[in-house]
């Protein structure tokens, strides 16, 4: 009798995997074909704003080399590619009464056709941080409520012009970063902060919360529009993607257990709770009082349920101690050093990132339990320490990045097959080394090395690992039998069900809390599948529940 390979060792055959990029980080050609300025264009040129003093004018030159980049994707064997549209290429001045730039639309249209021709599913972000400069000059960008209408107008153009071919939409990338890094810490465009050594204007105590509110409303209204006017005919799905790293208590003390939950509330719950559960977390209301805007009943009705899935960008895990006055971390201190003095994982080039796959698995479980939505992992990656100063050969042998992806792909597999988490995509950040925002080109996140003098691309060992891993773990979709294949128009391609088929948890509106103190024990219990029994979901075992109750 032949033994079939165990199903549990695989991901579903419709699992999307590939690499992610963002327009400003790769395109360059900032003056080409009628593109308007984005607020990153000039910000990056201000002295001291990027580590190496370099800007995004050339980046990886992908505006010119897009076909080579698509061929690179083919060589990696991906079935999907996540990229973003530059708002200021499509509406150069950004606003709802401003002209549309056909040349910009054409460029993205060619890119989308190029992907489809190669059998690669486009996964498109509408806003990955490159706001048209004109909207900042006009009313302060995300600080002005008018942005909601302008964003929805831009989104509508994208649905109209690309929605016949694009079936996966992300409204915003990482609104926490736009709010906090752009308007609180002042390290990303537009660089606003109360710190007058950093910025001549800004109020870090109020502006990030206003910006966050407007980002949520813009997201929600774009989703509403998509569902009312496009979804039925185009058959796609739409959601937001949030950054957020696992937060584990530093030790067993009740205040540190609470601190880990507070960290999650501010990093993730700030955006996810209104969108999936209906309101800001209680902890944020307490912490901020009337500095936190409130949703009117009308707003709440648009916001709640706006995102059809959970878009997840995650990089690391933090150990949390109560204390400090940093509101952007929920008045919680982060460390990678355990009580016994050991490090949580391997240190990356950037201070905020260590490798800890157990945390990734725990976060997948936490999010699935708390928000009850299918999860699309839209970013995950690692920057090897000092890679920028290594000779090419050495940089290509990126052992630490390979280890990172080994751990996190295993975590995905276990979360799907052992924990029952409904995960539908994995995009490694990033296809290429690229413009890493305030880090300039110093920090390299690519699985492909870019020589910035020649723009040559060289696959790193990590690209080879990821490619091979997904080849082995995503079964190619079975060819439909002729007599069973319905006659489908492209716009009725079968899509993963985005609505209402996630775990039916009994606690969708309660607040699960991080319940355990010793991070390793929390994670071991996840790994051991030591979960409370809940009804089986979609034929898979239920999500582990002990990080959430």
The one segment of 55-63, 172-180, 359-367, 420-428 that binds ligand PNW by CB under 6 A: 172-180
Which CB sits closer to ligand PNW, 40 or 429? 429
d(CA 434, CA 452): 9
Instruction: Identify the CA nearest to 419 among candidates 356, 364, 498.
Output: 364
Which CB sits closer to ligand PNW, 308 or 433? 433
Q: What is the largest CA-CA distance in the chain?
A: 75
Confirm if 445 and 434 have CB atoms less than 8 A apart.
yes
Figure out which of the listed residues 80, 88, 121, 173 binds ligand PNW, where binding follows CB under 6 A: 173
Which CB sits closer to ligand PNW, 173 or 425? 173
Q: Minimal distance in Å, beta carbon 344 to ligand PNW?
A: 15
Figure out which of the listed residues 248, 436, 519, 546 binds ligand PNW, where binding follows CB under 6 A: 436
Q: Minimal distance in Å, beta carbon 24 to ligand PNW?
A: 9
Which CB sits closer to ligand PNW, 403 or 511? 403
Q: Where are the alpha helices (DSSP H) in 91-176?
A: 102-117, 133-139, 147-162, 175-176
Torsion of CA 455, 456, 458, 463, to 10 degrees: 50
φ and ψ at 164, to 5 degrees? -70, -25
Report the site for ligand PNW in 75-134 (rule: CB under 6 A): none
Confirm if 245 and 308 have CB atoms less than 8 A apart.
no
How many of the other CB atoms lie within 10 Å of CB of 89?
A: 27
The one segment of 151-159, 169-177, 504-512, 521-529 that binds ligand PNW by CB under 6 A: 169-177
Distances 308 to 120, 231, 496, 520 between C-alpha atoms, Å: 22, 12, 11, 33
Q: Minimal distance in Å, beta carbon 85 to ligand PNW?
A: 14
Report the site for ligand PNW in 354-383 (rule: CB under 6 A): 379
Report the site for ligand PNW in 211-230 (rule: CB under 6 A): none
Place of tokens 């080409």: 32
Which CB sits closer to ligand PNW, 23 or 261? 23
Q: Is 352 in the site for ligand PNW (CB under 6 A)?
A: yes
Q: Is 313 in the site for ligand PNW (CB under 6 A)?
A: yes
CA dihedral for 152, 156, 162, 168, sign (positive or negative): positive
Q: Minimal distance in Å, beta carbon 70 to ligand PNW?
A: 20
Q: Minimal distance in Å, beta carbon 41 to ligand PNW?
A: 16
Q: How far separated are the first and last CA of the chain, in Å rounded?
A: 44
Confirm if 349 and 444 have CB atoms less than 8 A apart.
yes
d(CA 335, CA 103): 48
Size of the site for ligand PNW (CB under 6 A): 12
Torsion of CA 54, 57, 62, 64, to 10 degrees: -140
Q: Is 40 in the site for ligand PNW (CB under 6 A)?
A: no
Q: Is 60 in the site for ligand PNW (CB under 6 A)?
A: no
The SS3 call for residue 501 is coil
d(CA 454, CA 452): 6
Put the strands of the sheet holding 317-322 in their side by side order: 246-249, 317-322, 332-335
Q: Is 335 in the site for ligand PNW (CB under 6 A)?
A: no
Q: Minimal distance in Å, beta carbon 437 to ligand PNW?
A: 6
Q: Minimal distance in Å, beta carbon 182 to ligand PNW?
A: 11
Q: Is 177 in the site for ligand PNW (CB under 6 A)?
A: yes
Q: Is 243 in the site for ligand PNW (CB under 6 A)?
A: yes
Which CB sits closer to ligand PNW, 69 or 174? 174
Distances 55 to 29, 193, 473, 528 between C-alpha atoms, Å: 12, 21, 39, 47
Figure out which of the listed residues 61, 98, 150, 174 binds ligand PNW, where binding follows CB under 6 A: 174
Residue nearest to ligand PNW (CB): 352
Catalytic choice (27, 207, 327, 379): 379
Distances 360 to 244, 246, 292, 547 between C-alpha atoms, Å: 10, 7, 29, 13
Which CB sits closer to ligand PNW, 209 or 429? 429
Task: Confirm whether 282 is a catalytic residue.
Answer: no
d(CA 186, CA 179): 10
User: What binding mask, one character per residue, do residues 441-480 give for ligand PNW by CB under 6 A, x or -?
Assistant: ----x-----------------------------------
Q: Minimal distance in Å, beta carbon 120 to ligand PNW?
A: 20
d(CA 57, CA 435): 10
Q: Minimal distance in Å, beta carbon 177 to ligand PNW?
A: 5
User: What binding mask, one character per residue, do residues 392-431 give for ligand PNW by CB under 6 A, x or -?
Assistant: -------------------------------------x--
Instruction: List the catalytic residues.
Output: 379
Where does this chain bind ligand PNW (CB under 6 A)?
A: 22, 25, 173-174, 177, 243, 313, 352, 379, 429, 436, 445
């Amino acid at each position: 009798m032949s033994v079939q390979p165990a199903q549990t060792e695989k991901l579903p055959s419709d699992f999307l995997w590939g690499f992610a990029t963002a327009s400003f980080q790769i395109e360059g050609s900032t003056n080409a074909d009628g593109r308007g300025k984005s607020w990153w264009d000039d910000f990056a040129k201000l002295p001291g704003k990027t580590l190496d003093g370099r800007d995004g004018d050339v980046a990886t030159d992908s505006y010119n080399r897009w076909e080579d980049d698509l061929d690179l994707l083919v060589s990696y064997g991906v079935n999907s590619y996540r990229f973003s549209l530059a708002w200021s290429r499509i509406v150069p001045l950004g606003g709802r009464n401003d002209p549309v730039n056909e040349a910009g639309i054409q460029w993205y249209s060619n890119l989308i056709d190029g992907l489809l021709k190669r059998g690669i599913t486009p996964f498109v972000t509408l806003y990955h941080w490159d706001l048209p400069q004109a909207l900042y000059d006009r009313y302060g960008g995300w600080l002005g409520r008018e942005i909601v209408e302008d964003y929805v107008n831009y989104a509508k153009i994208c649905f109209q012009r690309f929605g016949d071919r694009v079936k996966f939409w992300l409204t915003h990338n990482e609104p926490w970063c736009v709010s906090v890094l752009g308007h609180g810490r002042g390290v990303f465009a537009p660089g606003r902060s109360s710190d007058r050594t950093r910025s001549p204007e800004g109020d870090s105590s109020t502006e990030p919360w206003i910006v966050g509110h407007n980002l949520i409303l813009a997201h929600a209204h774009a989703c509403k529009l998509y569902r009312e006017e496009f979804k039925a005919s185009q058959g796609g799905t739409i959601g937001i993607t949030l950054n957020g790293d696992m937060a584990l208590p530093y030790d067993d003390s009740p205040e540190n257990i609470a601190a880990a939950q507070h960290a999650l509330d501010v990093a993730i719950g700030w955006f996810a709770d209104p969108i999936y559960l209906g309101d800001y977390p209680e902890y944020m209301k307490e912490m901020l009082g009337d500095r936190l805007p409130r949703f009117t009943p009308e707003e709440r009705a648009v916001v709640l349920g706006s995102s059809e899935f959970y878009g997840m960008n995650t990089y690391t895990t933090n150990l949390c101690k109560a204390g400090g006055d940093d509101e952007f971390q929920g008045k919680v201190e982060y460390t990678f050093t355990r009580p016994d003095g050991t490090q949580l994982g391997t240190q990356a080039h950037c201070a905020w990132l260590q490798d800890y796959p157990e945390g990734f698995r725990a976060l997948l479980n936490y999010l699935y339990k708390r928000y009850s939505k299918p999860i699309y992992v839209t970013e995950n990656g690692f920057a090897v320490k000092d890679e920028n100063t290594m000779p090419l050969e050495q940089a290509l042998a990126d052992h630490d990045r390979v280890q990172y992806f080994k751990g996190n792909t295993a975590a995905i597999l276990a979360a799907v097959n052992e924990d029952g988490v409904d995960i539908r995509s994995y995009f490694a950040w990033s296809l290429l080394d690229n413009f890493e925002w305030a880090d300039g080109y110093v920090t390299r996140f690519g699985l492909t090395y870019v020589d910035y003098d020649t723009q040559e691309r060289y696959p790193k060992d990590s690209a080879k690992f990821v490619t091979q891993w997904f080849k082995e773990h995503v079964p190619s979709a079975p060819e439909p039998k002729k007599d069973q294949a319905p006659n489908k128009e492209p716009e009725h391609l079968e899509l993963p069900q985005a609505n209402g088929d996630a775990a039916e948890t009994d606690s969708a509106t309660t607040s699960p809390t991080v319940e355990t103190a010793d991070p390793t024990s929390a994670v071991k219990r996840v790994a051991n599948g030591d979960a409370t029994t809940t009804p089986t979901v979609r034929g898979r075992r239920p999500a582990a529940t002990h990080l959430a109750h």
